[in-house]
Structure 1
Amino acid sequence: MRETMKADQVSHSKMKVTEIGEFLRKPPAGFSVVALSSGYRVYSDPEETLVLIDDFHSCRGNIVFQKSLGRKVKVNNLWEYTSFRKSLLSRRIYLLMSACEEHFPVSNRKAASETRCNLNQMLKQYVVSIDGNDPFIKWQMEKGLDWTISSVAGESYRVDIDLTEALESWTDLVKVEPVWRDASFTLKYYSDALFDFPHWFGFSKRTFKLRLT
């Protein structure tokens, strides 16, 4: 890395990045944290926030986000999809990501980001939030979701929403150059179609990227 991270929390007009320890000490509006002997339990208001964080273990113990949908969200019908889409486009979305030390040439960063960091490589874990109601973020997600559904209408599909480019815009603000792990979340739609060949053969996987500018 060119420079170590100097702040536990950095804000962008469309994104906030908060080190997990700082998040637990000073939870943002809509969150409360209870310290337990085994770790922490984090509560959130589902009417104001959309939490997509899996339970995980850290040096602080087990950290559980109550009412979190997890990083991979499964929906089984149009009503569930519509409800999740509405939340995506109207609430602040929270994810957990890891910043890892750069051990690869810049040209090979994509491969590095897909490799799980070991404890020596991992620098810090961050809670990253994006404003799903921001006009530019909202436009990108609407466009990406519409493109995904129209391309595989009536069939099962999987779409990954990738925040790597958005995080690279954030690191430009603090002059750091980490490799980010888990910089995406996934929506999986399962239809009851009898002959779902595109899904069976892996042709219904889609990815779109979110940007800040």
Structure 2
Amino acid sequence: MATEDPVNKANLGRINSNRSMMSFSSVGSDILSSATTANCEIALLPLKLLIELQPTYLTLEDGVLTSNNQSGGFNLFSDDTTLIDGCQCRIVNYIQRKVTLRSHVDYKDYRETILAKPMLLITNARKVNSGATSAKTFAIVVNTRHPQIRSKVEDGMNSVISSVMGENYQLQFTFSNAVREYLQRQSFELTEDNLSFSFTFKLDVLVDFFYLFGLSKKNCDLHGKILNLYCTNNSRKERVKMFLSKMTSPLMRLGSSLDHDRRPSVFSLDMITEDPFPQEDGISDSAPVLPLNS
């Protein structure tokens, strides 16, 4: 009886593991030569590539994904666990996708915190018409330094405050539609409904009919131009790494409500100010479109 070649078996395993990623285009040099953090609203790339390029801020070891964001990094929105390329993993240091705020101080801390660092959401998607086990894990990075993103988040929070009649209210932010539409153009489909987060501002009031009947529960559907940062070429990886490093670098907002005269935020410590977004130098190599399992 013929024995199976271990080398061929290993190669076949790698091909099967990437089958769901076929036809997903790679970021090209023409995009990287002009893209800066100033004109990237939302970035999308495989989660494991993000971990590879940002090891200072993200680590995945023994089924545990850890976000290190005390000095820069990401605000990771998640639940206790997440599915990463088919494996259930525990999350360490994250912001709950659903939080309850009990005071105006908590509200201000939360508002500043979610705008202080890039938002990171994790989801799974698969190639259209492929099996359920072929889903791969993507990182959705929302650039909160981009003026359009900042204004949309701030406008959503201002709008719900000005429109509610009662003391209690709820606001949900969602990126599902924007990401779903983009992935559909790449012949991918989401396998999870987890690209959202929300807060409930709740005070101790006897009866709040507006909240009970959903009149003060609002949804903010956030759209933005999505930049695909997937790459396999080492030179492009270095460009993407530099690009992400600018977005995640720690900055301090002077005069923030988190200054020394007030207690630290219950969510995080680092606030940001404006970023000069210096223009990057161009690169000369060509910009082919590559399948992920090339």
Which one of the candidate residues 188, 213, 224 is aligned to 1:212?
Answer: 224
1:200 partnered with 2:220: no
Structure 2 equivalent of residue 44 of structure 1? 68
Q: Which has the larger radius of gyration?
A: 2
> How does 1:11-90 map onto structure 2 within 5 Å?
13-24=40-51, 26-28=52-54, 30-36=56-62, 39-48=63-72, 49-54=74-79, 55-58=81-84, 61-90=87-116
Cα pair distance change 1:17/1:146, threshold 3 Å:
same
Structure 1 equivalent of residue 230 of structure 2? none
Q: Distance in 2 between the 1:145 and 1:122 partners?
A: 38
Q: What code does the residue aligned with 1:99 have? A: A
Q: Distance in 2 between the 1:163 and 1:57 partners?
A: 19
CA contact 1:154–1:191 (8 Å) conserved in 2: no
CA displacement 1:55-108 (0-9 Å, x = unmatched): 1244564423322012222222111111111122232001112224557xxxxx
Point out the more displaced range, 190-199 or 121-130: 121-130
Structure 2 equivalent of residue 116 of structure 1? none
Q: Distance in 2 between the 1:100 and 1:59 partners?
A: 10
1:166 partnered with 2:192: no
Structure 2 equivalent of residue 5 of structure 1? 24
Q: Distance in 2 between the 1:123 and 1:58 partners?
A: 9
Equivalent residues, number: 193
- Cα RMSD between the aligned structures? 3.2
Q: What code does the residue aligned with 1:160 have? A: Q
CA contact 1:159–1:207 (8 Å) conserved in 2: yes
Cα pair distance change 1:31/1:60, threshold 3 Å:
farther
Q: What code does the residue aligned with 2:96 have? A: G
> Alignment identity in percent?
18
| Larger helix fraction of residues | 2
Deviation at 1:185, TM superposition (A): 1.7
Aligned to 2:223, the other structure's residue is in SS state coil
Q: Which runs of 5+ in 2 are unaligned?
A: 1-19, 33-38, 226-294
Q: What code does the residue aligned with 2:211 have? A: H
Which one of the candidate residues 172, 186, 204 is aligned to 2:198?
Answer: 186
Q: Distance in 2 between the 1:153 and 1:83 partners?
A: 23
CA displacement 1:99-151 (0-9 Å, x = unmatched): 24557xxxxxxxxxxxxxxx717632211110112101001111111111111
Structure showing greater relative contact order (alpha-carbon pairs closer than 8 Å, 6 or more residues apart): 2
Cα pair distance change 1:85/1:184, threshold 3 Å:
same
CA contact 1:15–1:128 (8 Å) conserved in 2: yes
Aligned to 1:191, the other structure's residue is in SS state coil
Cα pair distance change 1:179/1:187, threshold 3 Å:
farther
Q: Distance in 2 between the 1:14 and 1:148 partners?
A: 23
TM-score normalized by the length of structure 2: 0.56
CA displacement 1:158-202 (0-9 Å, x = unmatched): 211121343256448xx4143333222222222222211111122
Q: Distance in 2 between the 1:171 and 1:58 partners?
A: 18
CA contact 2:58–2:66 (8 Å) conserved in 1: yes
CA contact 2:84–2:136 (8 Å) conserved in 1: no
Q: Distance in 2 between the 1:207 and 1:66 partners?
A: 27
Structure 2 equivalent of residue 123 of structure 1? 135
CA contact 1:17–1:129 (8 Å) conserved in 2: yes
CA displacement 1:7-48 (0-9 Å, x = unmatched): 49x998122212133234x05265131512xx1331321453
